[in-house]
Chains A and B, each alone.
Chain A
Amino acid sequence: MGMRAFLIRRVLLVIPTLVGVTLLIFAVLQFFSPEQRAAIFVDRPGLSIDEIIDVYQLRAPVWIQYANWMRTILQGNLGWSNSIGMPVRDVLIQKWPATAELVLFTAPITILLGIYLGIKSAVHRDKPLDHATRVVSIVGWSLPSFWFGTILLAVFWGWLHLVESGQISGPVIQYINSGHFIKYTGFMTLDGLLNGQLWITLDALKHLILPVTVLVTIQIALIVRLMRSSMLESLNKPYVIMARAKGLAQNEVISKHARRTALIPAITMSGLLVAGMLNGLVITETVFGIPGLGNWAAAAAIQLDIPAVLGFALFSGVIFVFSNLIVDVLYAYIDPRIRLD
C-alpha cells in the first residue's frame, strides 16, 4: 500500500475519534443539571442563567444539545472558568506552555532511559542489573506521586533549601514583570535563552528537577518492563539466530536486529505514556505549585468549576488522539508489515 496511502487513511481516522471524544465529554456533561451546565456555553459573564438555558436549549433533547454544544466549541467558545475568572479557551492558551515544558523534559528522559534500561536488563538477564532495575521500577510504580513529591519537597526545599516549589522564583517574576522580558514561547527555559538571560533558564531548570524526577521515577517502570520483555522475545526470534549464524558480533545483532523489532511495542507504549502523563501532571503540578493546566484543573474540580474540568478533559482527549496518530505513523515507518493494512 505504501506510506502515503496509509498516512492519508490514518489521518482521516482522526475525525471520528475526535467525535467520539466529544461524545464522551458530552455524556459526562449530561450528568449535571441545566443550571450547572450553563457556564460551559458562554465565555464571558453577562447573561443570566435562565437566558443561557433558553438560548442554548438546555432542556431540549440530547441531540439538539449536542449540536449546540459542538457549534459553540467549533466557534472557539469553551465556556467560562469560575475558579479563575477567565474564559476556558484563554486559560488553555495561557497555561499550556508550563505543562508542555514539563512534558517536554519528562517524556524524552523517561522513554530513552526506559528503553536503555530495558534493553540492558534483557541482554543481561537475571544478573544484578536486571534485578536492581526491576525492583526500582516496581517501587517507582507503586509510589503515590503526591506522597513522593511531597517528601522530595520537604527534604530538598524545607530541609536542604536547594530548590523551591513553583515554576520560577521571585526575582525572575519581578524581572518578567519589569517589561524587559519578551515572552516568545511561554517556555521559561527557552525564553530565558531567547532573551539572553541565562540565569532565568537556569532558574527554571532548577525548578523543573524535582517534578521531572517524580514523573520519571513513577512512569519509567512502564517502559522498562515492556522493553525488557519485548527485547527478550526479540532475542529469541529465529532471525536473531540467523544473524548470529552469519557471523555478526553480539552488539551488532542486538542493535541491528533484536532492537528494532523490540522497539515497536515500546513506541506504542510511549504514546500511551503521554496520555498517562496527563494524569500525573494534575497531581505533580499541584504538589509543586506549577502554574499549568493540571494545577488549574485540580483546583477547578474541588470548586465544581465544570467548564474548567470538562475543558481540561476535552483538551486531554485531543492530545491523546494526536499522540496516537504520531505513534501509529512511527510504527508504520519502522515496521513495513503494518502498511499492508
Chain B
Amino acid sequence: MSPGSRFNEFRVRLKPSLDEFKFMVKRLRKSPLSMLGIAIIVFFLAVAFLAPVLAPAQGPNPFMMPHVNNSFEPTPRPPSAEAPFGTAQYQYDIYYGVVWGAITAFRTGIFVTFSSILIGLVIGGVSAYYGGVVDEIMMRFTDIIFAFPGLVLAMAFVIALPQNLSINLGLTTVSFVLSRLDRVLIALVVVGWSGYARLIRGEVLRVKTEDYVEAAKAVGCSDLRVMVRHILPNAIYPLMIAASLDIGAIVLSAAALSFLGIGSDLGYADWGQLIYASRNYIYNTPQAPLAYWFTFAVPGAFIFTFVLGWNLLGDALRDVLDPMLRRR
C-alpha cells in the first residue's frame, strides 16, 4: 500500500474519534468551572516556563533556594523589596521558592502519574487479558495496595528507600543516587499504580467481551495488536479523567510528606518544603502565629490553587465524558 493512501486510510479511521474529541472540547468550553481550571493550569505552566526569568537562579542548582542577603538568620522576615513574599526560616526567599516550586510540582505530578499509568497498563492489561488464576492473584495483590491508606504506605516507603540504590543486572551493576525528592516520587509511584491497574483492567475486561474484539481475533489479529488497536483507544477517556484528578492528589501527597519532614531536602524549591520550614514559627509561638503568616500562607496558597486547577479540569472532564462513555 502506498504511503499516501495509508495516511488517508488512517485519517478516515480516525475521524469519528476526532469528532468525539472536538465535541468534548466544545462541551468543556461551555463550562465556566472547567475554563477556570484550564486557566489556572496555564498560569502555572507560564510560571514554570518563565521561572529563570521571573526568579533568576543564583547558584549552580537552580532548585536550591537562595538565602536573601546571604543571611542564615533563623527568624523569617516579612515581605520586603528584596523578598516580595518574605523569607522563610534561615532566610530562604519565598518568592523564589514558589516560582521554582511550580516546576517541581509539574515534575512531581507528571512523572508520578506517567510512571503509574505505565505500570498500571502493563499489570492491569496483562491481568485482564489473560484472566484466570493470573488475574485473580494479580488483582488481589493490586487491591491490597489500592485500598491501603496511601499516605501511610508512602511514608513507610520513603523512609525505607536507601540513598544509594544499586541494581545488579548480571553483567553490570547500575547505581543511582536518590535524592530525597526522588524517594518521594518513587514512593508515590509504588502507591499510585494500583489505581490505574484496576482502571485499565476494568476497561480491558469490558472491551474484551465486545463482539468486534472476537471478530478481530477470528480474522487472525495477534493478541498485542488487538490490545493496542482496539482496547487502548477506548480506555483513553477514563484515563484522562483519572490522570487529571490524580495530578492534584499527588502534589498534595508530596507536599504532605514534605510537611511531615520526610520529603525533599531542606532548602529545595518545593512548596511542601517551604511549609515544613515554617512549622517552627506557627506551632511553637502560639502567642503570635499570625506574625509569620506569609511563611505558610503563600506556599500553601500555591499548592491549593495548583491542585484546584487540576481538580476543576478533572471534574469537568468527568461531567462531560460521563454521558459520552455511557452512550456506548
Contacts and interface: CB of A to CB of B under 8 A. Distances in A.
Contact of A309 (B141, B159, B161, B312): B159
Contact of B262 (A146, A151, A302): A302
A310 B156 contact: yes
A28 B160 contact: yes
Interface in A290-304: 297-298, 301-302, 304
A39 to B, nearest CB: 13
Contacts of A141: 311
A95 interface: no
Contacts of A17: 140, 144
Contacts of A32: 160
B290 A144 contact: no
B155 A282 contact: yes
Q: Is the interface of A mostly helix, strand, loop or mixed?
A: helix
Contacts of A134: 33, 315
Given A32-B160, A147-B296, A282-B155, A153 B275 contact: no
Contact of A138 (B144, B287, B300, B312): B312
A198 interface: no
Pick from A150, A225, A275 the residue with the most CB of B within 10 Å: A150
Interface in B127-154: 140-141, 144-145, 147-153
B202 interface: no
Nearest to A25: B156
Interface string B54-97: 00000000000000000000000000000000000000000000
Interface in B21-50: 33
A321 to B, nearest CB: 9
B122 to A, nearest CB: 19
A279 B156 contact: no
B197 to A, nearest CB: 15
B201 to A, nearest CB: 17
A20 B260 CA distance: 28
A131 to B, nearest CB: 9
Interface string B246-267: 0010001001100111100000
B136 to A, nearest CB: 11
Interface string B283-320: 10011111001001100110110011001100100000
Contacts of A286: 259-260
A297 B155 contact: yes
By size class, the interface of chain B is 35 or more
Nearest to A145: B256
Q: Which of A17, A21, A146 has the most CB of B within 10 A?
A: A146
A143 interface: yes
A38 interface: no
B262 A301 contact: yes
A272 B152 contact: no
A301 B148 contact: no
B157 interface: yes
Contacts of B161: 31
B259 A297 contact: no
Contacts of A158: 286-290
Interface of A: 16-17, 20-21, 24-25, 28-29, 31-32, 134-135, 138-139, 141-147, 150-151, 153-154, 157-159, 165, 225, 229, 272, 275-276, 278-279, 282-283, 286, 289, 297-298, 301-302, 304, 306, 309-310, 312-313, 316-317, 320, 324
Given A229-B322, A279-B150, A301-B155, 5 more contacts: A28-B153, A31-B161, A134-B315, A146-B275, A302-B260
14 contacts: A17-B140, A28-B153, A138-B315, A144-B256, A144-B307, A150-B282, A153-B289, A154-B282, A275-B149, A276-B149, A276-B150, A278-B151, A279-B256, A317-B148
